């Protein structure tokens, strides 16, 4: 009986040990599961919290960007308004500056040219601007210069041979065209004629047809004829 009892005792001990080992393993597994669960919850919590913080930062950054964008828009709008105001002011000033100055007896250059052109015929047509600008530059009365040219060339009706062949519009003496001066072009002839008036007459105080007549022409009625042209030109 003692041997049998001893065997039963050892068998019981073995079973108890096996149960203890089983329970211990089960306990360890449970603890690992709980640990993972807790870690997962913490991670999830942290992830959620991080996402919320990021969303808050995004929202805040968005608000800040919107605020900065509005400020920039306000600055741009103000700048545009200032530029528009300055542009209006500058435009008004430029318009005032564009008003043509008076160059001859209350007339602007364009008005003077237009008046001269109404009397210029044949080869002299279209030369009003040259006559006006070059005469004013040289200190010669442009209407008087035009009147003398019309008288000397006869271009009110038929231009003279001297003017059409020699480009001599003032009856200037010289060479190249008989006893008269020859010019290479009509423009050169017009400027040469005005130069002659400026240098040999105006600079000596001979500024009117009456004062010019004795030196310029043998015909004592020359000045009366030129003055008539002057009257007709100004009446246009």
Q: Are residue 1 and residue 19 in the same domain, yes or no?
A: yes
95 and 111 co-located in one domain: no
What is 175-189 written as a DSSP string?
SEETTEE--SSHHHH
Distances (CA, A) of 140 to 124, 191, 198: 18, 11, 6
Indicate whether 121 and 157 sit together in one domain.
yes
> Which of 99, 133, 148 is the endpoint of a domain?
99
Claim to verify: residue 108 and residue 47 sit in the same structural domain? no
**Are 159 and 87 in a shared domain?**
no
Looking at the structure, do residues 164 and 183 belong to the same domain, yes or no? Answer: yes
Give backbone dihedrals phi and psi of 103, rounded to 5 degrees, phi first.
Answer: -120, -20
Burial 139-176 (b: 16+ CB within 10 A, else e): ebbbbbbbbbbbbbbebeeebeebbeebbbbbbbeeee
pLDDT one-digit tens code per residue, 50-105: 555 555 554 455 555 566 666 767 665 676 666 666 666 665 555 555 688 999 99
**How many structural domains compose the chain?**
2
Q: Which of 55-69, 144-158, 201-215, 221-235 has the lowest mean pLDDT?
A: 55-69
Residue 73 structural domain? 1-99
Tens of pLDDT, residue by residue over 119-133, are 999 999 999 999 999
90/183 same-domain check = no
Which of these three, 69, 99, 129, is where a domain ends? 99
Alpha-helical regions (H) of the chain: 2-97, 109-117, 128-138, 142-153, 161-166, 186-200, 209-216, 222-234
Q: Based on the fold, state whether residues 124 and 227 are members of the same structural domain.
A: yes
140 and 126, same structural domain? yes
The reply to whether 112 and 94 lie within a common domain is: no
Check whether residue 138 and residue 90 sit in a common domain: no
* Dist CA 7 CA 167 (whole Å): 157
Q: What is the pLDDT, as a whole number, of residue 99? A: 82
Report the pLDDT value the prediction gives residue 54, as an integer from 0 to 100: 53
Pairing of strands 180-181, 176-177: antiparallel
The rounded distance, in Å, linking the Cα atoms of 120 and 112 is 13
User: Which CB contacts under 8 angstroms, 24+ apart, belong to 84-88?
Assistant: none
Residues 50 and 131 in one domain: no
């Amino acid at each position: 009986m003692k041997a049998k009892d001893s065997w039963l005792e050892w068998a019981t001990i073995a079973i108890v040990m096996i149960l203890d080992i089983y329970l211990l393993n089960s306990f360890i597994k449970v603890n690992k599961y709980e640990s993972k669960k807790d870690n997962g919850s913490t991670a999830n919590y942290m992830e959620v919290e991080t996402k919320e913080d990021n969303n808050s930062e995004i929202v805040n950054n968005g608000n800040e960007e919107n605020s900065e964008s509005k400020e920039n828009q306000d600055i741009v709008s103000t700048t545009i308004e200032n530029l528009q105001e300055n542009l209006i002011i500058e435009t008004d000033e430029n318009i005032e500056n564009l008003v043509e100055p008076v160059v001859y007896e209350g007339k602007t250059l364009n008005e003077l040219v237009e008046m001269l052109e109404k009397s210029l015929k044949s080869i002299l047509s279209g030369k009003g601007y040259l006559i006006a600008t070059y005469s004013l530059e040289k200190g010669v009365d442009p209407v008087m210069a035009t009147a003398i040219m019309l008288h000397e060339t006869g271009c009110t009706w038929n231009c003279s041979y001297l003017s059409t062949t020699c480009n001599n519009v003032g009856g200037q003496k010289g060479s190249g065209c008989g006893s008269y001066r020859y010019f290479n072009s009509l423009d050169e002839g017009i400027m040469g004629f005005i130069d002659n008036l400026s240098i040999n007459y105006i600079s000596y105080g001979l500024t009117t047809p009456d004062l010019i007549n004795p030196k310029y022409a043998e015909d004592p009625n020359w000045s009366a004829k030129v003055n008539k042209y002057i009257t007709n030109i100004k009446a246009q």
